[in-house]
Amino acid sequence: MSDTTRRGFLGAAATAAGLAAIPTAARADIGAVNKPDPLLDGEDLPTFRFALEESEGKVIGGNSAREATVKQLPISKGLAGVSMRLEPGGMRELHWHATAAEWAYVIEGRCRTTVIAPGGDSETNDFEPGDIWYFPRGHGHSIQALGDKLCHFVLVFDNGYFSEFGTFSVTDWIGHTPKSLLVKNLGLPEAVFAKFPKEEVYFARGKVPPEEPASLHQGKLRTSPDTHKFRMIAQEPNSTHKGGREWRVGQNRFPISKTITGVILELEPGGLRELHWHPNADEWQYIIRGKVDVTMFGSHGRHRIETLTKGDVGYIPTGYGHSVENKGEETARLLIAFNNGHYEAIDLSVWLASNPDYLLRDNFETTDAVVKELPKQRVFIASKDGPGGRGEPNPPR
């Protein structure tokens, strides 16, 4: 038996020698996909909806954070999310995340981030609605509201077990380090540190920052060679249809975003993002506006429909079939994040069109006349009147 055959035959139980040849990251993927998941093995599919904006979260003054992790939504093992609001003068203090990268989309208001990379490069960026940021795992950062209005943004983390309330915050660290050590490290008298916060501040509150970013404490303004900011909605949608449109940004257009692809999907009333699945990523959804029905198919006849409205979170595991349909009266807007920098999807219309007619006829136990009417091109987004208006070949960007 050849090595290739043996590995294929044995699947995840490949020989130690075979596994050793696979890079660690890929090996972890194989384990994750091939291990049975008790949550997804039941007779019925578990819920994939969580009413994020109705949850209690953490509220300090006019600042708030509401999160969706595996604790709130057990199915969401691959991605977690937070809806955060900062009041004028509000700041999410300096912190880092040991176990997740952070991706964000600004919904309302303006904010400023600072971020440091391991090489010492730092960047300060200002954000408006429709802009996104990405901070690699472990890079230190802060977020400040700008101007006199509330700033609302949604954070997405590439790890469903990650809690925003378990971050490594600068006040928590300094507050629990011996004063004598701080004197030696930072050269200030002990009395100064005695007045620093003793516990994690999380949301700091201060003055509204100056409109122009100030020079850094070190006296220089260094720019990161790999920017953390991308103006997503300022670009043309990468796909426009009668029934809706999509903006999509992955590593191809935003190089630092190696572990997350972000999408804004707009559906007109009755619009349908057609049946499809993603071979390489879990999908995390947040409803910015409107009311949609999300369907999910999980083999063994298991099919579930959830109605998601403004402020709800949805989740589709890798490989599960799904669709999104606008059931409301207004244009629906969804924020979608995938835990992979490279976008992959297989859409039903394309799959069917990629087979000979005789095969489709026999598979569906139908006639040649019926098969002839099936779409020949990708539907992607159907309108309330159906797949008519299709025809864009949708070159991937």
Q: List, by residue number, the catalytic residues.
A: 92, 95, 97, 102, 141, 164
Decide if 131 contacts 232 (C-beta within 8 A): yes
Tokens found for residue 164: 């925003």
Give CA–CA dist 371/178, Å, rounded: 75
Site for Mn ion in 262-301 (CB under 5 A): 283
Size of the site for Mn ion (CB under 5 A): 2
Q: Which is nearer to Mn ion, 7 or 248 (CB)?
A: 248
**DSSP assignments along 319-347, one per residue:** T-EEEEEE-SSS-EEEEEEESSSS---EE
Closer residue to Mn ion, CB minimum distance, 14 or 65? 65
Q: Rounded to the nearest whole angstrom, what is the least distance from the CB of residue 95 to Mn ion in the complex?
A: 6
Q: Which CB atom, from 102 or from 200, has the smaller least distance to Mn ion?
A: 102
Shortest Å distance, C-beta 65 to Mn ion: 10
Cβ of 181: how many Cβ atoms within 10 Å? Answer: 10
Residue 93 in the binding site for Mn ion (CB under 5 A): no
Residue 277: strand pairing partners: 346
- 252 or 295: CB nearest Mn ion: 295
Nearer to Mn ion, 102 or 312 (CB): 102
- Comparing CA positions, the residue from 241, 158, 171 lying closest to residue 200 is 171
Q: How is residue 47 written in tokens?
A: 């819920």
Backbone phi, psi, residue 33, to 5°: -80, -35
C-beta of residue 396 within 8 angstroms of C-beta of residue 342: no
Span interacting with Mn ion, options 33-41, 70-78, 102-110, 367-375, rule CB under 5 A: 102-110
Per-position DSSP letters for 161-199, written without gaps between them: T--GGG-EEHHHHHHTS-HHHHHHHH---HHHHHTS-SS
CA distances from 349 to 198, 199, 241, 276, 294 (A): 59, 55, 15, 9, 18
List all residues 6 or more positions away from 245 whose beta carbon is below 8 Å from its beta carbon: 237, 239, 265, 266, 381
Tokens representing residue 19 in the block: 């596994």
Smallest distance, Mn ion to C-beta of residue 383, A: 18
Interface map 120-159 toward Mn ion (x if CB under 5 A): ----------------------------------------
For residues 391 and 371, give the distance between their C-alpha atoms in angstroms, rounded to a whole number. Answer: 18
User: Measured from the CB atom, is 7 or 92 closer to Mn ion?
Assistant: 92
Q: DSSP class of residue 79? A: -
Residues 6+ apart with CB under 8 A from 254: 132, 134, 230
Number of H helices, E strands in the chain: 9, 26
- Closest to Mn ion by CB, 102 or 158: 102
Nearest to Mn ion of 185, 307 (CB atom): 307
Query: What is the separation of C-alpha 344 from the centre of its chain, rounded to a whole number of angstroms?
Result: 15
- Lay out the site mask for Mn ion across 228-267 (x = CB under 5 A, - = otherwise): ----------------------------------------
Binding mask 73-92 vs Mn ion (x if CB under 5 A, - otherwise)? --------------------
Distances (CA, A) of 73 to 40, 121, 359: 13, 36, 40
Residue 102, interface with Mn ion (CB under 5 A)? yes
Dist CA 325 CA 306 (whole Å): 11
Residue numbers at the binding site for Mn ion (CB under 5 A): 102, 283
